[in-house]
Amino acid sequence: MVMSMRSFLASILWIVFLLTACQPAAVEVVLTAEPGGVLLSDTFTDPAGGWTRAASPVGAMDYFSGSFRITVAASDYDLWSLSGHLFRDVQVAADAGRLGGPLENRFGLVCRYRDPSNFYFFVISSDGYYAVGKVSAGARSLIGQEMMLYSPAIITGIAPNHLRFDCIGTVLIGYVNGQPIAVVQDGDHPEGDVGLLAGTFDMPGTDIIFDNLRVTNP
């Protein structure tokens, strides 16, 4: 574990303009369900499911063998794919695993995404670290921590982890394999889309697959 992983803020959370320009615009109708009801469910078997698909020299996002795959070919870069819907309070969950690339990576879930300058994220790394953070008016920061922190709840290596990100009112909770490992509060973003995110630190080549996405009303 080198300093670039421990100090998340030292690594720039780049916005990929070429790819985000292709992002689907969030429908301005908030999806609703009864408490505990499913707002969105996707096993990524249908390439017409609406998630962002794009490719460029810095990476690619696309459906892949019954899952969704994000590869990042540039250093200090993040790519994310959005569902194209609008939500308020959500519990968004998915299985995510490292298909290849360095252990010093980051990948996870996005909630309340309004545009590339305003959203929340919960990420882990393949060597056992995590963070909850936000982008507000283009300024990027972690919430409740100054750097990514280690958690033994994270399964390291190639094995998948089950991630869940609760965005309920002003409370944000990140879960790994059923265990809450981060609980923070922030009120900047009340609603927005959900998404999948993968990124790199110094070493390029992050290659992450996501599956079994489920968004529920708390």
Report pLDDT for 29: 72
- 20-48 pLDDT, tens digit per residue, is 434 454 456 777 778 889 999 999 999 99
How many angstroms separate the Cα of 45 from the Cα of each of 48, 63, 64, 211?
A: 9, 8, 8, 9
Domain span including residue 24:
3-216
DSSP letter at 155 equals P
Q: Check which CATH number belongs to the domain holding 88 and give it.
A: 2.60.120.560
Q: What is the pTM of this model?
A: 0.90
Would you place residue 5 in the very low, low, confident or very high pLDDT band (cuts 50, 70, 90)? very low
Instruction: Please name which of 15, 6, 14 lies closest in space to residue 131, comparing C-alpha atoms.
Output: 6
Evaluate whether 129 touches 150 at the Cβ level (below 8 Å).
yes
pLDDT tens figures, 167-184: 999 999 999 999 999 999
Q: Dig out the tokens for 61 from the structure.
A: 């996002």
Does residue 4 register a pLDDT over 50?
Answer: no
pLDDT tens, position by position, 105-144: 999 999 999 999 999 999 999 999 999 999 999 999 999 9
CA within 13 Å, CB half, 22: 16
Look at the chain and report how many structural domains it folds into.
1
Element (H, E) at 20: helix 17-20
- Condensed to tens digits (0 to 9), the pLDDT of residues 51-106 reads 999 999 999 999 999 999 999 999 999 999 999 999 999 999 999 999 999 999 99
Q: How far apart are CA 127 and CA 156, in angstroms?
A: 5
